[in-house]
A and B are shown apart, each in its own frame.
Chain A
């Protein structure tokens, strides 16, 4: 069974631009969560989706948004990029809503210049 995939793997953007990251969960998994990892703040929860509905949201500004499609694939969008948005963005999938073992993708490394 294929693991969680994320695209693109690397991305360089300029301040003020917007970016869309994609995550395909493990087949059969319906829950997708997103995390931001930075050296200063560690791993922080962004949001969680289940059956196309956002179930939970972390403490991030409204510039960060996401969605989930009917095939459970998810995208997250960051608008008006800031230098501080440079980070590793990780996506995880699990079978159940609000529970179960999480499996992570390889991440998208975003650099904002």
Chain B
């Protein structure tokens, strides 16, 4: 099955900073998504982005399917952005990366 690698595993930033989270796939995937897991465990949908670029407020994402990677950009970070960010893709089943734990310091 495919492997999903997320980097960096941990990221500590000051409030107001920008960040880039990366997701690499070992093979072609479909239905790529980015999630933010809140402190209570719920996965919040950020982007459904099989290819191309999307933006939602301070967040944007780009997937280059031919090169098997996706990027999540967070601009002007706020403390509420803290948490774990996951990417996931599908071959015959959904595969999650191990996540990037983001800490935004006030």
Chain A residues with a Cβ under 8 A of chain B: 33, 35, 37, 42-45, 48, 56, 58, 88, 90, 92, 98-107, 109
Contact = CB atoms under 8 A, between A and B. Distances in A.
B43 A90 contact: yes
A interface majority secondary structure: strand
Contacts of A104: 35, 42-43, 45
A99 B90 contact: yes
A104 B36 CA distance: 11
Given A102-B33, A106-B41, A43 B93 contact: no
B36 to A, nearest CB: 11
Contacts of A37: 41
A19 to B, nearest CB: 17
Nearest to A108: B41
Interface stretch (B61-69, B75-83, B94-102): B94-102
Contacts of A109: 41
Given A42-B99, A102-B33, A58 B41 contact: no
A65 B95 CA distance: 19
Nearest to A46: B93
Interface-central residue, A45, A103, A107, by most chain B CB under 10 Å: A45
The 4 residue pairs across chains A and B that have the minimum distance between CB atoms: A43-B96, A101-B48, A104-B43, A107-B41
A102 B88 CA distance: 10
B41 A103 contact: no
